[in-house]
């Protein structure tokens, strides 16, 4: 048996990915985020993407502002 201390694989560096939102060290509890807040932010982004339809431009039907009520002849008096 040869006990080689330089055995590749024996030493596995724990590389924790940073929070994808704020790049802070992620917390095991909120992986892969650093906090519940960041997790919520990511969820919101995901929903935004889901709502979007790829290939179709989101066209908002915006009605022009009303020109005002039709005014009759100038009735003075």
> Which residue from 22, 36, 40, 43 is in contact with Zn ion, where contact means CB under 5 A?
22
Residue 39 binds Zn ion, judged by CB under 5 A: no
In whole angstroms, what is the distance from residue 42 CA to residue 48 CA?
A: 10
Candidate list 8, 12, 15, 19; residue touching Zn ion; CB under 5 A: 19
- What gap in Å lies between CA 77 and CA 71, rounded to an integer? 15
Contact between 38 and Zn ion (CB under 5 A)?
yes
* Interaction between residue 34 and Zn ion (CB under 5 A): yes
CA torsion angle 41 44 45 48 (round to 10): -160
* Residues in contact with Zn ion by the rule CB under 5 A: 19, 21-22, 24, 34, 38
């Amino acid at each position: 048996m040869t006990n080689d201390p330089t055995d590749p694989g024996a030493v596995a560096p724990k590389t924790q990915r940073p929070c994808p939102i704020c790049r802070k060290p992620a917390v095991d509890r909120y992986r892969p985020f650093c906090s519940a807040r960041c997790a919520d932010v990511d969820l919101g982004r995901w929903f935004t993407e889901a709502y979007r339809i790829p290939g179709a431009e989101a066209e908002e039907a915006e009605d022009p502002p009303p020109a005002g009520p039709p005014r009759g002849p100038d009735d003075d008096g």
